[in-house]
Amino acid sequence: MHVIIPARYASTRLPGKPLADVAGKTLIERVYDRAQASGARSITIATDDERIAQTARKFGAAVCMTAASHRSGTDRIGEAIRSLGLGPEEIVVNLQGDEPLMPPALIQDVATLLGRDRDAVMATACHPIADLETLRNPNAVKVVCDARGYALYFSRAPIPWPRDQDDAAPIGALRHIGLYAYRAGFVARFCTWGPCLLEEEEKLEQLRVLWHGERIAVHVTDDAPPNGVDTPEDLTRVRKYFEKR
């Protein structure tokens, strides 16, 4: 597998976060370290910002400069795949540039799942939801799967909703983990489709895949990875984690 890490400097809630200091290393280097520990054949940081590119090169990362006009992380991944010249059957993992605590084993798990499933064009991960607060939180994306482990739908809404017991999380509710594996050839096809109605309503680009009738295999892990860095509070939490280590 190949890992591509999309990284933007602009962020509504935390501008410049890839370059934020996290116990002596930048946030983007902490993410890069996770990718290295996963056993990836190659790791590339895809960015549209020269400040991020210079920082990444300093700690030894390969960098692919991409356009600033991409609407989604997958579109940025698509440009990087073209620049790298990866073959259509090569498996690429999209590791977000704000996930410094993503377990390396989980990165490998989604790639392995896709590698053995020829019916899926993409793989991702999730973990069980144990509390009603998470189920109702629109920032916690939920996924519902079929009997074979393929995604039926992703939503910010609480799905499935327990009709007869609305004061507890339903058995089998799953929270989506924003980690994706694709075949390189599929990403090129994905990028030609453009956003779909459901994707724009939910602000979830993986719905574009289901909209077009393709399958997403879902790996279920019992161990929920810590959240990524979206806010200053998240950054403080991650700094404390690495300081303790």
Distance of CA 61 to the CA centre of its chain: 19
Decide if 108 is inside a domain: yes
- pLDDT above 90: percentage of residues in the chain: 80
56: containing domain: 2-124+176-244
Decide if 161 is inside a domain: no
Tell me how many domains the chain contains.
1
Instruction: Measure the CA–CA gap between 100 and 27, rounded to whole angstroms.
Output: 7
* 204-245 confidence digits (pLDDT tens): 999 999 999 999 999 999 988 998 998 899 999 999 999 988
Decide if 89 is inside a domain: yes
Decide if 196 is inside a domain: yes
Decide if 162 is inside a domain: no
The stretches in the chain having pLDDT less than 50 are: none
Alpha helices for the chain (secondary structure H)? 27-37, 50-58, 73-84, 104-116, 132-136, 184-193, 197-202, 207-211, 232-244
* 92-121 confidence digits (pLDDT tens): 999 999 999 999 999 999 999 999 999 999
Decide if 167 is inside a domain: no
Q: Give yes or no for a contact between 42 and 62, defined as CB atoms under 8 angstroms apart.
A: yes
Instruction: Measure the CA–CA gap between 47 and 215, rounded to whole angstroms.
Output: 28
Decide if 170 is inside a domain: no
Q: What is the CATH number of the domain that holds 98?
A: 3.90.550.10
Decide if 148 is inside a domain: no
pTM here is 0.93
pLDDT of residue 125: 98
